[in-house]
Structure 1
Amino acid sequence: MNDVVLTGDRPTGPLHLGHYFGSLANRVLLQDLHPMYVLIADYQVITDRDLPGEIRRHTTELLLDYLAVGIDPAKATIFQHSAIPELNQLLLPFLSLVSVSELGRNPTVKDEIAHSTQSAVSGLMFTYPVHQAADILFCKGTLVPVGRDQLPHLEVARLVARRFNERYGQVFPLPEAMMGAQPLLKGLDGGKMSKSRGNAIALSATEDETAALIRKARTDAERLITFEEERRPEVANLLTLAGLCLGRAPVELAEEIGDGGAVTLKRVVTEAVNEFLRPIRKRRAELTEGDARRILAEGNERARERAVRTLEEVRVAMGF
């Protein structure tokens, strides 16, 4: 059986360079190796927030980012969660396979509850891992690129698949985590890079916006630029960013900048980032919202065909 990749993002704002180097570049490579489903997880936006925000616009922007970085809708099925009702119908039988205590013990759920901005935690938060299991299993996903913090969710998907097969007969493969050596980019303020914290460079940012963000980035008072991740994390992060964009070692860049100080460092980083993003911006500018709607409609149709077949298999296996 050929491996099937399932990956995706929540439409909560523009994708940034952390997303690109952390996952998007890998997806562009994977689409040439395996059938791939790319999920725009719009229903999951309401998991940990009271209001979904501008979800329609964010969905369009997310799709345009995907296309601009090179995800090809002829190779990958890009689809929207809310457009696939059969996917969500899998949630009920899957929930019957997991106990309340198992859901409550999930460390990722605990962490997300602790950091939630909701006035009260919704029931959807507890079922979130099973919702993700449905995302993975509806397309018979076997490879799921994840960060270490998402491994508990993948274990729930494996648990659901295993228990369903044991109870009703072999229907689902057991998905495997795909753990890459993904570079960890911190935000320009030294914290976790995040869409909501304003410390990330969006793939859709203009050259001037990019330059302004990098000018405000944290450094330190030492003039000599050195790459020391432990002692000088902010400087090291900027060097890492420039190195990723240029395909060069950050140590080499530090040696070249030498005693040029923070001003020279930020100039080098700005030039590297803008040069790297130039072709992505060009492709994005050539796309229209009409292109995005058409591509999403086609992807939704293909994903729904897959979901219908899987749901029918589940119904037959369960005796409905």
Structure 2
Amino acid sequence: MTTSSLPPETTPAQARSALLEERIRQEPGRFRVLTGDRPTGRLHLGHYFGTLHNRVRLQDLGVETFVIIPDYQVLTDRDVADHLVEYVEGLLLDYLAIGIDPARSTIFTHSAIPALNQLLLPFLSLVSVAELGRNPTVKDEIAHSRQAAVSGLMLTYPAHQAADILSCKANLVPVGQDQLPHLELTRTIARRFNDRYPGADGPVFPEPDALLSAAPLLPGTDGTKMSKSRGNTIALAADADETARLIRGAKTDADRHIDYDPVNRPAVAGLVLLAALCTGGDPHDVAAQIGTGGAAALKRTVTEAVNEFLAPIRARRAEYARDLPQVRRILREGNARVDAIADATLREVRTAMRADY
């Protein structure tokens, strides 16, 4: 694929991602991916179609894949921190249920990797407070924190993420467009470290590339972005009855003719899109099949599509949930593997910094 074959409105980041996709198909073994989710509650269909299915795709292509559960990063939220064990185990069950294979991918927790956290201090020395504070994700987190004051930990999110990625020497990070500034700071930290502390055998860190998701934004049951904080999600762990209830309560409009119009009918379009994603169809075709059936027919179609799609995921999740000791063993083994990798990275860092005394 060449840049000349891409649409004229393609951004540089999208063009780079297209080239990376071609290289992944040709030489998947050249890439190491780092991705993950903060343990703040149940994963939902927005997560699945936005990122989770792409992780399984990369894993299945032969890309070395690391999935981090950054548990230290949620300590800023007391409510979440009080349920950390439950949320971490829930993430593990969701990951295994959707097809993350521990024989081919490595799942680990931030808190279990001491070397990762030791990287944070030299990394913080390479960035300014202003650079941390103007990161869009940090600003958004602070704005929605519902706290009178925010902790220093929240300000260090971007440097923490850099440590997550670079401790494993990941060279590829799947992100959404809104996460590009986060990754750019990781690239800046890697570049500044390599410039300040040149390794004897070349740069210590790769500058990881962003692999942009091509997935459409999935609206929630109220027509806005599907998000746990908005209470408009359909969790992967939801049973068939809960799913049906959530879809019955979804926002629609009074027009009985169903079409796919995200601009003028976002709530209806979101439900149509959800049915299309779950069935692998085109949203325009889904809408045409419902026709003048109105909201009742739309919700019935969506409920059937979602429940059929989630059925095998629910079955696998239930199977893993019956053997939690094995699930915890998978996490311990992942932690041990990453611990060894991060230790080796930290030794390189100390040698480059002449601090290996």
TM-score of the two chains, using structure 1 as the length reference:
0.97
- Mapped pair 1:254 → 2:282: no
Shift of 1:198: 2.4
Q: Is the 8 Å Cα contact of residues 12 and 53 (structure 1) preserved in structure 2?
A: no
Counterpart Cα distance in 1 of 2:167 and 2:213: 24
User: Which of 320, 323, 329 is residue 294 of structure 1 equivalent to?
Assistant: 329
User: Which of 10, 26, 37 is residue 38 of structure 2 equivalent to?
Assistant: 10
What percentage of aligned pairs have identical amino acids? 65
- 2:53 is aligned to 25
Counterpart Cα distance in 2 of 1:87 and 1:12: 21
Q: Is the 8 Å Cα contact of residues 50 and 119 (structure 1) preserved in structure 2?
A: no
| Mapping for residues 9-158 of structure 1, pairs under 5 Å | 9-32=37-60, 33-47=62-76, 49-51=77-79, 52-158=81-187
Q: Is the 8 Å Cα contact of residues 240 and 250 (structure 1) preserved in structure 2?
A: yes
Shift of 1:186: 1.0
Shift of 1:176: 0.7
Structure 1 letter corresponding to 2:92: L
Structure 1's consecutive aligned runs of 4 or more residues displaced over 6 angstroms after TM superposition are: none
Structure 1 letter corresponding to 2:37: D
Q: CA RMSD in A?
A: 1.2
Give secondary structure in 2 for the equivalent of 1:78. strand
Counterpart Cα distance in 1 of 2:325 and 2:241: 27
- 1:215 is aligned to 248
Counterpart Cα distance in 2 of 1:137 and 1:195: 29
- 1:244 is aligned to 277
| Mapping for residues 180-219 of structure 1, pairs under 5 Å | 180-219=213-252
Q: Is the 8 Å Cα contact of residues 217 and 225 (structure 2) preserved in structure 1?
A: no
Shift of 1:113: 1.5
Give secondary structure in 1 for the equivalent of 2:207. coil
Counterpart Cα distance in 2 of 1:202 and 1:192: 14
- 2:353 is aligned to 318
Give secondary structure in 2 for the equivalent of 1:5. strand
- 2:15 is aligned to none
Structure 2 unaligned spans of 5+: 1-28
Counterpart Cα distance in 2 of 1:153 and 1:4: 18
Structure 2 letter corresponding to 1:24: L
- The number of residue pairs the alignment matches comes to 319
Q: Is the 8 Å Cα contact of residues 218 and 270 (structure 2) preserved in structure 1?
A: yes
Q: Is the 8 Å Cα contact of residues 223 and 268 (structure 2) preserved in structure 1?
A: no
Structure 1 letter corresponding to 2:310: L
Structure 1 letter corresponding to 2:312: P
Counterpart Cα distance in 2 of 1:27 and 1:251: 27
- 2:22 is aligned to none
Counterpart Cα distance in 2 of 1:190 and 1:53: 31
Shift of 1:292: 1.4
Q: Is the 8 Å Cα contact of residues 173 and 208 (structure 2) preserved in structure 1?
A: yes
Counterpart Cα distance in 2 of 1:62 and 1:267: 29
Shift of 1:119: 2.9
Structure 1 letter corresponding to 2:82: G
Structure 1 letter corresponding to 2:207: L
Shift of 1:108: 2.5
Give secondary structure in 1 for the equivalent of 2:284. helix
Structure 1 unaligned spans of 5+: none
Counterpart Cα distance in 1 of 2:131 and 2:248: 47
Counterpart Cα distance in 1 of 2:178 and 2:290: 36
